[in-house]
Structure 1
Amino acid sequence: MINIAQKYLEDRETFQWDRPEKYNFVGDTISAWAQSQPDAIALHWTNSEGNEFKRSFSQLREDAARAAGVLKAAGIGRGDTVLAIMSREARWWEIVLGCIQIGAIVSPGTVQLKPKDIAYRLEAAKAKAIITNDALLDIVDDGIAKVNWPGVRINVDAGERANWLSYEALRKSSEPDFQVADTPADSAALCYFTSGTTGQPKLTVHRHDYPLGHKATGSHWLAAKPGDMVWNLSDTGWAKAAWSSLFAPWMVGAGVFALHCASFDAEQTLEWLEKYEITTLCAPPTVYRILVRRDISDAKLKSLSRCVSAGEPLNPEVIDLWRTQTGLRIYEGYGQTETVLLCGNFDGMESKAGSMGLPAPGISLQVIDHEGNIVDPEQEGDIAIDISPSKKPQGMFACYLDDEVRTASVYKGDWYLTGDRAMRDQDGYFWFVGRADDVILSSGYRIGPFEVESVLFEHEAVAESAVVASPDETRGEVVKAFIILAKGVEPTEALKEELQRYVKNSTAPYKYPRKIEFVESLPKTISGKIKRKELKMQEWEQS
């Protein structure tokens, strides 16, 4: 056993949630920073062409007021839902803040949506308005036509089209409106469509006090402070953008850095990390995997001092390679669209490679059995949050919109079930096993796909993999690995056998993939998570 560092224990002991009856992020937090540090940089925006601009907190407060004026001029008011289907356009930040300021409900979405997705979201969210860009006008119009939606359409770009309002034109003709809605803390502010693996996405509703739930995200996980600059690579349509591109940095007075580009580019990412004074990098595991495969030992990361990762577990080897090549540690974090940061690696605590870390300050996190009992160390169970009145953390979602059955399904008494499974060791560290429906049962053994994927990644021939259960007459299920090979590696039967031996020699032999299929790509959700369930269904349907 190890001694858990005193600093972490003190942080957990002294941490307290703010629980106001009324709260508005713009009126209470952004306005406060605009007064106390008006000239501090709140947003540093760039694009792939090298254009850039900076906004101070005082300017950001004015931008929110201008967005509020535009929204009201377009007929949008308190309680109305606005779909913001945009990328990292500079106006995204002020539009989200403007919606929050006037008490409208903002529902961010990714630019990868198709007409049927747009149609579903418009109806499911009961949207009053949709705001998007030039590139998506045709797609949105097609989606609108499918359901004959009568709402307000706003184009954030300069293009003109019938039935569409110009955001820029409204911004020029409307006066900034600094009036802040008197919003109860428990009233709806955001609506995120979760990146489900099957079926239609769930509509996760967050309250106005949701940003307060990111107090620990900003201060303990990002470890940001005034003067720091946080670059989060997440798409604005994913709730992770609310974590590290919006609420967490600004809760602690740090700045947000942004790059508006068509897609991730490893070369440009390294160039930007060297060029700009970025202190904190928040990236999904895929980005770290790509970068360490390139070997960035010679990169001049002069300002970078903090690296965090979330979305899905990160392979221990990637963490080790990153530290070897950059001298920096990656602090993993765990949470959901429905929650804030639940568990992670923080300053002042020892890390264990491959572990999810320890519960975040303010979070009572446990591993429980099917009856709701806390299980002993080294026993697998469901990850659950204690939501009893005295322990419920800030930032928990309010409900799945208009879906009482789905909402009730994630609760067991005073526990909220994340849908993930894990084990705790003797020191209290959490170890991810997999999604509750991803665990493979083979000849009585329970096998978590992530452990097998991590071992496969350690082999130089493997760029990425997804491990699922495949039907077997003798064993019920066996491990199957879908593998994307590294550049220049040829798929052969001999390589399959080599990879099988490699896994046998690296972990418990019963976990090795008895089936291997080389593929060019893997199905993923909008937020970049592998759709293991889709691959598993494919296997069972074929059988």
Structure 2
Amino acid sequence: MTWHVSVPTDSYDVAREEFSWEFPDGYNAAHDLLRKHDDPDDRVALSQPAADGTREDYTFADLDRRSNRVANALRARGVDRGDRVAVFVPQKPANLLTHLACWKLGAVSLPLSTLFGEDALRYRLRDSESVVVVADESVLDVAAAAVPDCPDLTHVLTVDADAEHPSLTPDTDDATAAERFAAVVDDADPTFDLVDTDHETPAIVMYTSGSTGPPKGVLHSHGVWAGHCPAFSMYFEHDVDADDAVFWTPADWAWIGALGDLVFPAWHYGRPVVGTPTGSFDPERAFETLETFDVTHTFLPPTAIRMMMHVDDPAGRFDLSVRAICSGGEPLTPEILEWADEELGGVAVNELYGQTEANLLVTNCRQWFEARPGSMGKPVPGHDVAVVDPETGDRRETGTVGEIAVRRDGDPVVFTEYLDDPEKTAATTVGDWHLTGDLGVADEEGYFWFKARDDDLIVTSGYRVGPGEVEGVLLDHEAVEQVGVVGVPDEMRGEVVKAFVQPAAGVGDFETVREELRDLVRDRLAKYEYPREIEFVDELPQTTTGKIQRRKLRERET
């Protein structure tokens, strides 16, 4: 089965008219990404910097055998079809190997950001009913705090660390078993027969934040990564299967913007991906990575690009091979396109649009049409995207603001459901349309323009933050009487989280409280969710029913 997504490249209009989804029988994502390629023993799939300063290369055959071992190890620990396995690992081979192993088993993988604190981790492990978590050495303290409260968990596999973490090995009969990932995998059989699946078989759950309520588990099927390929071809200028193509993103491998926008589509076409298991983003190191690994195509969030714009003379200082950059999560500003033209010698920078529930719906392609600063681009072949009335599903007239929507039927990137929550799933559907929750407008030439979210979601450095979740943590501090959290404009990050705090009676040391509140959110939710700005106020605007009016808080900032 050597099938791959083939997008007609004659013209945009031809591609829109002629493209259709046709998955082969018995489709399995792991087979598609690893086993179908010619010369898998010679074809590099993953490159990473080694501890001694050299590089480690893994071929597609290497990853196939290693993920076979992981699949056998998981099966030996009771993982079966439909079971959920959490991946709490940065950009290391164990991350991708665990996903692939799950899909070979018919199990469902669950990517988790290593920036999560214990509350964020605990909620997702419990809500997903995960039975195994693969956790990196860097997050073992967080995992140890959360695991005892997750009754469905039976095993913790630790990456690059001893399993004998004090809190992971309590002296009780019903404790979750902790073992070293490398040890259990090395002992496993390197052969594995794939279970029967097709492109609609459940494969992965990714959590997304909304403005109200807890995060929602978004369930996708095996076909989701192939579903990203038409957009992948567009924003990388139809250059995705070139012999010298090399792909890299600094984005968190827990995010659909990393896995779906770059990693797995690159493997679909049999091209190598670079992994960099580093900490916070460093623009100098980013350019070094691009040079060292001869990266030709990269996905960079807008915040990362803005940080790289402060590096002097990048084309002169670094021997760059980059031919195309894609970016998304927030609208690109004109100065980003100008910087790429002037400082990178005209490298194409193409904006893309999508969400966890339905990713890569709209993008740009300079070979097909002119990129217009501020526009997301045009709908991708294979996706019927429109601006609709969210109440009726009727298409809005050209130039009229409505909700951006995509037709669900037969589209592999549209999610199956919110995990075990049919009511919330139904609430995003009107007729044949999935509603994205984003307001936009389409012009006469088919370009889409983002206007606003229709809720209070905050997008900071490409991460989506639900204000309600942050408010819930802040309210646990004894100094907080009431709190409202909103996003406020920021030149570098697009938005930052700001908390308006009504302090409890008697609070006087506001600076100490401010730092305690930031630490509280960092520790319990995620490092990107903490409020960079905190303003103490005498009272907060409320409705007659006592609900904080976030809209009025945002208006204070304009």
The alpha carbon displacement at 1:411 in A equals 0.7
Q: Distance in 2 between matches of 1:145 and 1:530?
A: 25
The 1:349–1:409 alpha-carbon spacing in structure 2 relative to 1, beyond 3 Å, is same
Q: Distance in 1 between matches of 2:526 and 2:432?
A: 31
Q: Distance in 2 between matches of 1:184 and 1:250?
A: 19
Instruction: Pick one of 34, 51, 60 that aligns with 1:30.
Output: 34
The 1:202–1:360 alpha-carbon spacing in structure 2 relative to 1, beyond 3 Å, is same
The alpha carbon displacement at 1:40 in A equals 1.6
Q: Is 1:354 aligned to residue 354 of structure 2?
A: no
CA contact (8 A) 1:193 1:203 kept: yes
Cα-to-partner distance string for 1:374-433 (whole Å, 9 max, x where unaligned)? 12222111101123x4xx422211000111111011111111111111111111101111
Q: Which moved more, 1:179-188 or 1:44-53?
A: 44-53
Q: Is 1:242 aligned to residue 263 of structure 2?
A: no
| Match in the other structure for 2:479 | none
> What code does the residue aligned with 1:432 have?
F
Give 1:469-480 correspondences, 5 Å limit. none
Q: Is 1:136 aligned to residue 139 of structure 2?
A: yes
| Match in the other structure for 1:182 | 196
Q: Is 1:61 aligned to residue 77 of structure 2?
A: no
The 1:158–1:267 alpha-carbon spacing in structure 2 relative to 1, beyond 3 Å, is same
| Match in the other structure for 2:399 | 378
SS of aligned partner of 1:362: coil
Q: Distance in 2 between matches of 1:527 and 1:356?
A: 28
| Match in the other structure for 2:298 | 281
The alpha carbon displacement at 1:129 in A equals 0.8
Instruction: Pick one of 35, 39, 43 that aligns with 2:42.
Output: 39
Provide structure 2 residue ranges, at least 5 long, that are not aligned to the other structure.
1-8, 170-176, 468-485, 494-517, 536-547
CA contact (8 A) 1:279 1:305 kept: yes
Give 1:410-449 correspondences, 5 Å limit. 410-437=428-455
| Match in the other structure for 1:12 | 16
Q: Is 1:363 aligned to residue 383 of structure 2?
A: yes
CA contact (8 A) 1:217 1:248 kept: no
How many matched pairs? Answer: 465
The 1:29–1:88 alpha-carbon spacing in structure 2 relative to 1, beyond 3 Å, is closer
SS of aligned partner of 1:17: coil
> What code does the residue aligned with 1:52 have?
R
Q: Distance in 1 between matches of 2:325 and 2:434?
A: 29
Instruction: Pick one of 202, 212, 217 that aligns with 1:203.
Output: 217
> What code does the residue aligned with 1:89 have?
K
CA contact (8 A) 1:68 1:177 kept: no
Please give the TM-score of this superposition, normalised by the length of structure 1: 0.78
CA contact (8 A) 1:197 1:531 kept: no
The alpha carbon displacement at 1:353 in A equals 1.5
Q: Distance in 2 between matches of 1:110 and 1:480?
A: 21
Q: Is 1:298 aligned to residue 316 of structure 2?
A: yes
The alpha carbon displacement at 1:8 in A equals 1.7
Q: Is 1:106 aligned to residue 109 of structure 2?
A: yes
Q: Distance in 1 between matches of 2:530 and 2:145?
A: 28
Cα-to-partner distance string for 1:260-289 (whole Å, 9 max, x where unaligned)? 101111111111212221010101000111
SS of aligned partner of 1:193: strand
Q: Is 1:156 aligned to residue 170 of structure 2?
A: no
Q: Is 1:342 aligned to residue 361 of structure 2?
A: yes
Provide structure 1 residue ranges, at least 5 long, that are not aligned to the other structure.
440-448, 454-465, 469-478, 487-520
SS of aligned partner of 2:326: strand
The 1:150–1:334 alpha-carbon spacing in structure 2 relative to 1, beyond 3 Å, is closer
CA contact (8 A) 2:134 2:159 kept: yes
Q: Is 1:402 aligned to residue 416 of structure 2?
A: no
| Match in the other structure for 2:271 | 254
| Match in the other structure for 2:342 | 324
Please give the TM-score of this superposition, normalised by the length of structure 2: 0.76
Q: Distance in 1 between matches of 2:117 and 2:530?
A: 19
Q: Distance in 2 between matches of 1:48 and 1:352?
A: 43
SS of aligned partner of 2:185: helix
| Match in the other structure for 1:95 | 98
Q: Which moved more, 1:98-107 or 1:65-74?
A: 65-74
The 1:483–1:207 alpha-carbon spacing in structure 2 relative to 1, beyond 3 Å, is closer
Q: Distance in 2 between matches of 1:264 and 1:485?
A: 13
Q: Distance in 1 between matches of 2:301 and 2:203?
A: 26
| Match in the other structure for 1:119 | 122
Q: Distance in 2 between matches of 1:485 and 1:90?
A: 31
The 1:96–1:480 alpha-carbon spacing in structure 2 relative to 1, beyond 3 Å, is closer
CA contact (8 A) 1:41 1:54 kept: yes
SS of aligned partner of 2:274: strand
CA contact (8 A) 1:284 1:310 kept: yes
Give runs of ≥4 in structure 1 deviating > 4 Å: 147-150, 479-486, 523-532, 534-543
CA contact (8 A) 2:50 2:56 kept: no
Q: Distance in 1 between matches of 2:436 and 2:453?
A: 9
Q: Is 1:266 aligned to residue 283 of structure 2?
A: yes
Q: Distance in 2 between matches of 1:483 and 1:94?
A: 37
Cα-to-partner distance string for 1:138-193 (whole Å, 9 max, x where unaligned)? 22121122345542111122313133111111122111132111113322110111
CA contact (8 A) 1:226 1:253 kept: no
CA contact (8 A) 2:46 2:274 kept: yes
Cα-to-partner distance string for 1:39-79 (whole Å, 9 max, x where unaligned)? 12111122687352111122222122122122123222222
Q: Distance in 2 between matches of 1:213 and 1:11?
A: 15
The 1:96–1:225 alpha-carbon spacing in structure 2 relative to 1, beyond 3 Å, is same
Cα-to-partner distance string for 1:283-308 (whole Å, 9 max, x where unaligned)? 10001111123343534343111111
Give 1:46-85 correspondences, 5 Å limit. 46=49, 50-85=53-88
Give the alignment's Cα RMSD to 1 decimal.
Answer: 3.2
The 1:98–1:344 alpha-carbon spacing in structure 2 relative to 1, beyond 3 Å, is same
Percent of paired sites with the same residue? 29
Q: Distance in 2 between matches of 1:51 and 1:291?
A: 24
SS of aligned partner of 1:216: helix
CA contact (8 A) 1:24 1:183 kept: yes
| Match in the other structure for 2:473 | none
Q: Which moved more, 1:233-242 or 1:67-76?
A: 67-76
Instruction: Pick one of 200, 209, 214 that aligns with 2:228.
Output: 214
> What code does the residue aligned with 1:349 have?
F
The alpha carbon displacement at 1:528 in A equals 6.4
The 1:126–1:273 alpha-carbon spacing in structure 2 relative to 1, beyond 3 Å, is same
Q: Distance in 2 between matches of 1:480 and 1:205?
A: 27
Q: Distance in 2 between matches of 1:438 and 1:541?
A: 11
Give 1:168-179 correspondences, 5 Å limit. 168-179=182-193
> What code does the residue aligned with 1:94 have?
L
The alpha carbon displacement at 1:529 in A equals 9.2
Q: Distance in 1 between matches of 2:550 and 2:203?
A: 38
| Match in the other structure for 1:308 | 326
SS of aligned partner of 1:294: coil
